[in-house]
Structure 1
Amino acid sequence: MENYNVNYKEIILSKAKEIAMNEGIIKINIRTVAKNSGIAIGTVYNYFPSKGDLLVAVIEDFWEGVFKDIDWRGLADNNFYDNLEKVYSVLHDYLHNFKENWLEQLALLKTQEKLIGRQKEDEYFQKMYSKIILLIDMDSNLQQYQWSQTISKENMAEFIFENMLIMLKKEKGDMKFFIELLKKIMSN
């Protein structure tokens, strides 16, 4: 008799995340996930029709976890630069849980899988840009900064996050140098 209380999708996703953490995201495949889950391959395909769909779910789960673990409300009383360091620290800690740097591993995926993964990541990058803009707006010391069309909050948020990603790929433990550069750039 079928056990209708079992959430196969969660089990499958959990095993896929386990593989990503222990072996690297490029090691995820339907057959291995099915075997590790004790679930038939066909059942895995019912929930995740392709490897790309499974990768997207793992990436989405990663970013949802990051956003959940950042205490956005707790950042309201800090300055922008301290807040950036806290966000970076959460990202660094999350990525440190993975055996391999999966930001680099995404580049090694097949073209279609890479495209699907990047599209989902881009959605979360846009959310992060918005959060960085919010952090800028919360800092009274930056409210007088003369933003322009070229150096807009949007461009600055993208610049900041893209550089944070570069530092994360290089496994930099902190971003003190980058923070000092930002202070020089964003001072009036």
Structure 2
Amino acid sequence: MNTNQTLHDKILTASKEIAADKGFHAINIRAVAAKAEISVGSVYNYFPDKLTLLQATIADIWCDVFYRTGQCTALNSFHDCLLWFIVSIDKCSSQYPDFFPSHAACFRKADDIEENREKMNEYMAHIHNGMKLILQKDKKIKAGVFSEAFTEDDFIDFVFSNIISGLSGKDKSCSFLLKLTDKLLYD
């Protein structure tokens, strides 16, 4: 294995452990270096500042939750995909309680850090494409639901943002969203 990649992964693992134990606010270059048992300079070789480290950590968490599991694309029902998606995101927010507020704040802060934004967009595109694949292969969806004015892509974006909203708010089960999508797609 590439030594540089190994050290990079070790840094992100340490950062995620700090986020899980103490919250994202506790992540800083020195704390991550201590947790990873490496020098502060080694962290700076990969992450020039705290914001870049936070963005990479958040992107890597999204990758852990969705990209590396690949489970969603094995499903044949969009309803089952949504259930899996809700459980996966809820599990993430349980492991990292301040994940959503930290995510929002972190990616609003800097316009000049494109690499992590691109990585984040890559993971989100993977999630979107996985959901779209399930939507297209679900044989139980009634005909004619989607059109040029009501596209699969817009529907998936709507569902995704409402899952995040539900899990961040009062409806942790996203029960209303599930009922709404079932009514729209299957009834």
Same fold (TM over 0.5): yes
Task: Find out whether 1:84 has 2:82 as its counterpart.
Answer: yes
Change (3 A) 1:140 1:5: closer
Code of the aligned partner of 1:103: F
Secondary structure of the equivalent of 1:142? coil
Q: 1:106 aligns with which of 103, 108, 112?
A: 103
- Once the two structures are superposed, the pairs formed by residues 20-169 of structure 1 within 5 Å of their partners are 20-67=19-66, 68-76=68-76, 79-98=77-96, 100-109=97-106, 111-112=109-110, 120-142=119-141, 144-169=143-168
Code of the aligned partner of 1:61: D
Largest Rg, 1 or 2: 1
Verify the 8 A CA contact 2:29 2:40 in the aligned structure 1: yes
Higher mean displacement: 154-163 or 47-56: 47-56
Shift of 1:50: 2.2
% identity of equivalent residues: 27
Instruction: Name stretches of at least 5 consecutive residues in structure 1 with no aligned partner.
Output: none
Verify the 8 A CA contact 1:28 1:55 in the aligned structure 2: yes
Root-mean-square deviation (CA), in Å? 2.8
Secondary structure of the equivalent of 1:164? helix
Secondary structure of the equivalent of 1:52? helix
Secondary structure of the equivalent of 2:147? coil
Change (3 A) 1:168 1:119: farther
Secondary structure of the equivalent of 2:148? coil
1:49-88 deviation per Cα after TM superposition (whole angstroms, max 9, x unaligned)? 2223322321222122112235235313xx2212211221
Shift of 1:146: 3.4
Change (3 A) 1:114 1:121: farther
Aligned length: 182
Shift of 1:45: 0.6
**Structure possessing the higher relative contact order (Cα contacts under 8 Å, 6 or more residues apart):** 1
Scaled by the length of structure 1, what TM-score is found? Answer: 0.81
